[in-house]
Chains A and B, each alone.
Chain A
Amino acid sequence: MLNKLRSFFTEFANIHRFLLRFWRELVTPPYEFKEIIRQCFEIGWKSLPLISVTGFIVGFVFTKQSRPSLEEFGATSWLPSLISIAIVRALAPLVTALIASGKIGSQVGAELSSMNVTEQIDAMEVSGTNPFKFLIVSRIIATTISIPILTFYVAGIGLLGGYLSLASKDDLSFLSFFTQVFETIGYQDLWAMVFRAVVFGFTIGAVSCYCGYYSSKGTEGVGKAANAAVVASMFLVFIEEIIIVQILAIIN
């Protein structure tokens, strides 16, 4: 019991040190712009196919499932408003974050961990490159930038899926659907979406990098790091979602 408590506090201290170091390295030159752009491509651009399919399905299915309930009250004309609120306020940031936790978390966790196991991180350090700045800071910034962009993209694709689902039953034009969507959502919703996505992006990047960079040695360590990166980032995304929802409710 005492050992477990000790390891819990040690882990807590390590995370604290890791985050402090991140902020320190972030503001001190040299800056790794080229690597950040490369990571944005790896993390953001290469996630597009998966994100596109998922976003479309979420919008399409959500609309299809919501329809019968509103039909009972003869309120199917409210569907565009309902879809837009659900997608922009909740589904787009959450779905993007969960997909990114799975894809990016496992990728970054396993990559950094195997670099650690094969001493590539030490090799980088002895050849005059700061591995924390090059590997960690660049990846965390890349996820913090990429995930909000992906979230906007998922929102767009999700709304498109919702429109196609609606248009398959009703005679609804593309223009009137999106007019209704933009009448419903306000700037506040968009800012809230960006805020959520930035928090989720930072969390996924930081958790994945922490798990990979400080993984235990050996091939088992690689598997454990990838697994921990996915599980911990998904868990934290849900916790943060609850907190953000409460905060936004108070502000509103």
Chain B
Amino acid sequence: MEKAKTHIDYQDAVITLRGVSKSFGENHVLKNVDLDLYRGENLVVLGRSGTGKSVLIKLIAGLLKPDNGTIDVLGISVNDLRDHDLMKLRLKIGFSFQNSALYDSMTVRENLEFPLIRNKRNLTRTEINKEVEDVLEGVGLSQAINQMPSELSGGQRKRIGIARTLILRPDIMMYDEPTAGLDPITCLDINSLINEVQLRYKTSSIIITHDLACARSVGDRIVMLLDGKFERQGSFKEIFETNDARVKAFYDYNFIV
């Protein structure tokens, strides 16, 4: 099912990449790429495994440095930022990891409290509890508050991972393979959650995936990363109206044509 239209401000780019390249040794994963994410938009980056999709969002979050090119996030150039300023900028970016990356020595409550306690030191205990309960309710897992991450299913871990990023009320969300390793029903739940987050928290998001069902459900715009470049972009329908064998193979496999 394709996604319902949402309000997107195409005059206001929250993320801008220009001429960005990144290599690991002889492996050139990104070759001089340009990209814009507009305010309120859900942008899906499609591509095969190992093509540099995750590298792209790690570059945006400043976890990796580009070899060339500029990356602007909310009008600030990430390349030139000092550690302290980068840390401040990151508070406006929510990052949902492929394997959720929950702190496994902490309970769900402690996982959610961690970024809050460390970044909003003036909050009272009652305010922290309320924030945690609100965000957990938002992802539909209020009952898991005292559980350890090891006691949760894959889908629940993803939801808690998303909740942990939402607790700081980010302007931008980045989802790294949100549906990887989940059953189809849980995938649908996660897709709905991504759309809910967009509407409820007014976020602009980049969703990295190779799951076409996910791309179709959550993407306002889709870009396809092929051989280190964004070869195609547009709506789901526009992307696959092509005779390019690489793109067709992707579609055929996902929908078992």
Q: B-contacting residues of A (Cβ < 8 Å)?
A: 115, 118-120, 122-130
* A126 B118 Cβ-Cβ under 8 A: no
Contacts of A126 in B (CB 8 A): 61, 63, 90, 93, 95
Contacts of A125 in B (CB 8 A): 63, 90
* A128 B168 Cβ-Cβ under 8 A: yes
CB B103 to nearest CB in A, in angstroms, measures 6
* A120 B118 Cβ-Cβ under 8 A: no
Other 9 A-B pairs with CB < 8 A, given A118-B104, A128-B87: A119-B97, A119-B98, A122-B58, A126-B95, A127-B119, A127-B165, A127-B168, A128-B90, A128-B91
Q: B83 at the A/B interface (Cβ < 8 Å)?
A: yes
Bound: A119/B63 CA distance, A: 11
CB A200 to nearest CB in B, in angstroms, measures 26
Bound: A118/B97 CA distance, A: 9
How many residues from B make CB contacts under 8 Å with A?
Answer: 24
Q: Tally the A-B contacts, defined by beta carbons under 8 Å.
A: 55
Q: B10 at the A/B interface (Cβ < 8 Å)?
A: no
CB B106 to nearest CB in A, in angstroms, measures 10
Contacts of A127 in B (CB 8 A): 90-91, 95, 114-115, 118-119, 164-165, 168
Bound: A128/B114 CA distance, A: 10
Bound: A123/B101 CA distance, A: 6
Contacts of B93 in A (CB 8 A): 126
Chain A: which residue is nearest B121 at the CB level?
A30
CB A38 to nearest CB in B, in angstroms, measures 11
Q: Which of B87, B90, B99, B115 contacts A118 (CB 8 A)?
A: B99
CB A240 to nearest CB in B, in angstroms, measures 31
Contacts of A128 in B (CB 8 A): 87-88, 90-91, 115, 118-119, 168
Chain B: which residue is nearest A134 at the CB level?
B118
